[in-house]
Amino acid sequence: MARKLKYILIFLIPYCAYKSFYSYEIKSFWLVLFAFVVIPLLELFLKPDEKNLSKIEEEIAKEDIYYDILVYLIVPIHYSLLLLYLFRLQTDGLSLFTITGYIFCMGTLNGIFGINVAHELGHRVKPFERFLAKMLLLSTLYMHFYIEHNRGHHKNVSTPHDPASSRKNESVYAFWFRSILFSYLSAWKIEIQRLKNKNLPFWSFENEMLRFQILQITFVLAIYFLTNGFVTLCFIASSIIGWLLLETVNYIEHYGLTRKEIKPNIYERVMPHHSWNSNHILGRIFLFELSRHSDHHYKASRKYQILQHHDNAPQMPTGYPGMMILSLIPPLWFYVMNKQIENYLQQHPNLAPY
């Protein structure tokens, strides 16, 4: 029962967001402080949990609708908080500092709920779940992620062909630019190739990338006409923060890890050692087990509640929130993570070279 109930902690995220939107000055950063100060500090003292479910427990958890309901609930919660955000931005007399707090709060929500939960639902097979994934991505103007991540990143991860895999000694700031730009272009290439394979025209309703652009432009225009230009700019700013949070997660997940090239442009199968893993419990809970990333790439169809620890997967020194903060200081990041790579390869020489 404790295994199931621990995910209720996820709802501390919308609670902190609600508190942020009804607070002023430093208190408007409630959610940001919780996500990137409180959780990282706690994870410095909490031991990682490497335990996996037994085969029987896994089968039960996989079919338990409780875990699905939790992620489904995120969609109306996220949109409700987005509406609250837009409403509160129109409050008279808000200081620039408070507005900044609201923007960063919504941006954090976009990263944790808008994109991360969309990532979980986007890997599901039910049309309803995939629709929910696209709804969440619409809220943060990152709908191309649905195409590029599923059909690009998972195919090309940890190779030079993947814009969302960071390279050794590449700073997170250089990575942001490269990944955002080339992931977007990659989504267009993937969709255009799909249309060609089906003998479908570019200018058609079948072009999902075109539909995504129309939806996103319509969404922004709707916000503009229902509020005003300033609120619309704040919405776009919080969307960009969501993008940067996603790309920072992408950065830490595959930093410096590469798959062996067997033949020209043919790479070995994706294995657990091609992604950094973290078993730190709070990061796992609040991100719907995203930090068990090694197993996610090994078996992308696995639902969050049954993701496993692999003994041969490289492990991060702490949880995702703490590692994201560390990545923002490149010299310190390189010092810590390049040593992690060296130590890992010493322990697993058969997996070299990277």
| Reported confidence tier of residue 352, pLDDT bands at 50, 70, 90 | low
Integer Cα distance of 206 and 334 in angstroms: 44
Instruction: List b or e across 191-224, with b for residues whose CB sees 16 or more CB atoms inside 10 angstroms.
Output: beebbeeeeeeeeeeebbbbebeebbeeeeeebe
Q: What tens digit of pLDDT does each residue of 219-267 get?
A: 999 999 999 999 999 999 999 999 999 999 999 999 999 999 998 989 9
Q: What is the per-residue DSSP string for 150-173? A: IIIIHHHTTSTT-TTSPPTT--HH
Q: What tens digit of pLDDT does each residue of 189-203 get?
A: 999 999 999 999 999
Q: What tens digit of pLDDT does each residue of 94-135 get?
A: 999 999 999 999 999 999 999 999 999 999 999 999 999 999
Question: Residue 348's pLDDT is what?
Answer: 78
* pLDDT above 60 (res 345): yes
Integer Cα distance of 321 and 225 in angstroms: 36
More confident call, 218 vs 266: 218
Question: Residue 265's pLDDT is what?
Answer: 86
Q: Are 25 and 98 in contact (CB under 8 A)?
A: yes
Using CA atoms of 189, 179, 319, 140 in order, give the dihedral in degrees to the nearest 10. -70
What lies within 8 Å, CB to CB, of 120 at 6+ separation is 71, 133, 288, 290, 303, 304
Which DSSP symbol is given to 200? Answer: -
Question: Residue 354's pLDDT is what?
Answer: 44
User: Strands 266-267 and 261-263: what pairing?
Assistant: antiparallel
Q: Are 308 and 62 in contact (CB under 8 A)?
A: no
Integer Cα distance of 309 and 315 in angstroms: 10
The rounded Cα 175 to chain-centroid distance in angstroms is: 15
Question: Residue 203's pLDDT is what?
Answer: 94
Helices (H), the chain: 2-5, 12-21, 30-33, 39-43, 55-63, 65-88, 96-109, 116-122, 127-139, 144-148, 154-156, 172-197, 208-226, 229-254, 281-286, 293-298, 320-327, 330-347
Q: Are 131 and 39 in contact (CB under 8 A)?
A: no
* pLDDT above 80 (res 1): no
Question: Residue 284's pLDDT is what?
Answer: 95
User: Phi and psi (nearest 5°) for 249?
Assistant: -65, -45
Integer Cα distance of 114 and 216 in angstroms: 14
Bridge partners of residue 266, in order along the sequence: 263
Which DSSP symbol is given to 198? Answer: T
Question: Residue 346's pLDDT is what?
Answer: 86
Question: Residue 95's pLDDT is what?
Answer: 98
Question: Residue 351's pLDDT is what?
Answer: 67
